[in-house]
Structure 1
């Protein structure tokens, strides 16, 4: 048995952190609970992989070989769980989204094959290992595992792009969840790249040596990833999940005549007289309820008559509200951030982005231009 070193200590810290975060996330209430359950499973999978990395090289024998083979099944589960996590975190679906069982067929086949090896004695399995009979099996397993995880990572990026588009159609503000998911997927992508390099080097090239990609670096980065993901997920506020549009049919003329004119008039009254945009958590659903119509009708009105998204439409009014405050000289008594929040924005970043879009300038430069004019 090999001795334990500093790398093993770091991996142990990653394991304890992963298990702690998995338990903590499972116990959180009213904070993206269904998504956090999946994230807890992902963290447990990463922890189990780290356990295997610590003990498998230090113990020989058929028993540990068999245990390691069964643990390898997790590589076929990680990808589907990743996709489920991103989907549950960003989109509202009733009932809650669950993947079809066929996505887990590779994991089932892997378990079935290595379950079949249990019918062989330890001596027979040891002889098969020495003869290299598992070489082709290892190649097939790693090829399918890598392809599977790459596919679900790409699918998760696709979900993020859909979410970005739907967020502008449903929310008048930006959520921090976008940045969190981007960083999460970038972390996963780095592991995918390292895995591809390792895969090519193991089965095809066999001569390449890259100083910046080492065996220890790949494994030590896992506990670092666990810590970062866990930290941000614990800080992540409850996300407003957007209803996912499974089928979109383009309707050329959804509203017309008196109905269209009445909706336009009611919308203008809400914006000008009632200033509903001052609600910094205003959603398309909220606006539709105030207008006494459907979200589809409001979306059609904004997209086809006003030629903009819900996000852009609401923030145009907020920018104008901010400009009115500046013209009244309120910026001499209050900070720009305070005035932006009073105008309906929920964050500095959303305000700056919206102001730049409407005025093609920064708020500070705009105020300076007023002083010189």
Structure 2
């Protein structure tokens, strides 16, 4: 039986943390429950994989543990689709909730057939086949497909992040800070798969076996992944999920006639200049469309084709201008810049700084310094 070492401690902490987070996330009372159910499943799968890695080396001669270890290998073809499902449910609003098609689990089902095939051999017979190298091609194919499969779903998740970024600017006047989390999540997973790939190349092609770049490094990365995901999910606020359906907004075809454009533009100016709806920290495209008594598609078309702005950029230009007016009145001598930005409609310091620099090509503090010089 193998002794308990440092990597086993890391694995044990990852297992306990994964199970704890999977349960705790379900207790959270927010609007992301459909996504959190998938996240809990991902965390439990990661914990199960770690459990197999922790126990199997100590019970290698036990047929019961041996059979479980082979079955757990199926999970490498379940993780990717579930990751994609989590990203999609967390970032986008679809009715009904998006579900994975049967085709996403073809490789997992194939792995189950492989598992049932292994049952036709006794434990001893299977070990002998492995030592004789007769299973090498099977192991090589499974691992190759596993790496390619997970890289493919990492890429699909990356595509979702790109769509989300675009939709966020079209639908929100503020930043939810969801993109940094999605990117961190995706980078962590990609690093995990990249380590797996590196170990795979070294073992199968370079015939190099090292304790530093090895499967142990891959296993250690899973608890890190659990920590990154769990930390955010516990403090994750309710978010406004983006519509995923492609909008019928075109620059080549007039969606509205001239009269409708003028009327809608006049109403929009009334709301922005006189009613100052941009002071609402949580202003969304949906809210604005309701105020204008029109569809979100019409408002988006107007902003994109007449004003040549996204919803995010259009609204924040008014907020920046409101902030600048306060600066010229000298209010920054009595209040902090953050307080003035909040009074101008911004909901966070990061959103304010990015918007101000986009409009003025300078930071707020440097803008004030330039005023003093002039």
Category of TM-score, reference length = shorter chain: over 0.9
Q: Deviation at 1:329? A: 1.3
Question: Which residue of structure 2 aligns with residue 229 of structure 1?
Answer: 229
Q: Distance in 1 between matches of 2:247 and 2:260?
A: 25
Q: Verify the 8 A CA contact 2:18 2:226 in the aligned structure 1.
A: yes
Matched with 2:99 is 98
Whole-angstrom CA distance in 1 between matches of 2:122 and 2:218: 34
The aligned counterpart of 2:243 is 243
- The alpha carbon displacement at 1:120 in A equals 3.1
Alpha-carbon distance between aligned partners in 2 of 1:315 and 1:212, rounded to the nearest angstrom: 50
* Counterpart position of 1:72: 73
Preserved contact between residue 278 and residue 345 of structure 2 (Cα < 8 Å): yes
How far does residue 322 in structure 1 lie from its aligned partner after superposition? 0.5
CA distance in 1, matches of 2:169, 2:225: 30
Q: Single out whichever of 301-310 and 226-235 deviates more from structure 2.
A: 226-235
Shift of 1:181: 0.8
TM score, norm. by length of structure 1: 0.96
Match runs of 1:1-373 below 5 Å: 1-61=1-61, 62-207=63-208, 213-246=213-246, 248=248, 250=250, 252-373=253-374
| In 2, Cα distance between equivalents of 1:264 and 1:221 | 53
- Greater shift in the superposed pair: 15-24 or 34-43: 34-43
* CA–CA distance in structure 2, aligned partners of residues 324 and 344 of structure 1: 13
Distance 1:322-1:194 versus aligned 2 partners, 3 A rule: same
The range that moved more, 158-167 or 20-29, is 20-29
Per the alignment, do residues 249 and 312 of structure 1 end up closer, same or farther by CA in structure 2, a change over 3 Å counting?
closer
User: 1:58-101: CA deviations, max 9, x gaps?
Assistant: 21234332211110000000000111111111100000011101
- 2:347 and 2:326 map into 1 onto residues whose CA distance is 17
Distance in 2 between residues matched to 1:122 and 1:43, nearest whole Å: 30
Structure 2 SS opposite 1:119? coil
Task: Identify the range of structure 1 (53-62 vs 142-151) with the bigger mean alpha-carbon deviation.
Answer: 53-62
Deviation sequence 1:250-282 (CA, Å, 0-9, x none): 361001121111000000000001000000110
How far is the alpha carbon of 1:43 from its aligned partner?
Answer: 0.9
Q: 1:371 & 1:319 partners in 2: Cα distance?
A: 19
User: How many angstroms apart in 2 are the aligned matches of 1:123 and 1:15?
Assistant: 30
SS at match of 1:252: coil
The TM-score normalised by the length of structure 2 is 0.95
Distance 1:245 1:119 in 2: 48
Displacement of 1:249 in angstroms is: 6.0
1:235-255 CA-partner distances (Å, limit 9, x unpaired) = 111111011124656361001
CA deviation after TM superposition for structure 1 residue 219, in Å: 2.2
**Count of residues in correspondence between the two structures:** 372
User: 1 CA distance for matches of 2:16 and 2:253?
Assistant: 57
The separation in 2 between residues aligned to 1:12 and 1:293, in whole angstroms, is: 56
Q: Which runs of 5+ in 1 are unaligned?
A: none
- Segment drifting more, 175-184 vs 312-321: 175-184
Distance 2:209 2:19 in 1: 36
C-alpha change, 1:100 and 1:174, in structure 2 (3 Å) is same
* RMSD over aligned Cα atoms: 1.6
Q: Return the offset for 1:192.
A: 1.4
Tell me the distance in 1 between the aligned counterparts of 2:349 and 2:27: 32
Q: State the shift of 1:6 in Å.
A: 2.7
Farther-moved stretch of structure 1 (340-349 vs 126-135): 126-135
Deviations 1:304-347 (A, max 9, x none): 00011000000000000001111111111110000000000010
Measure the CA separation in 2 of the matches of 1:206 and 1:132. 15
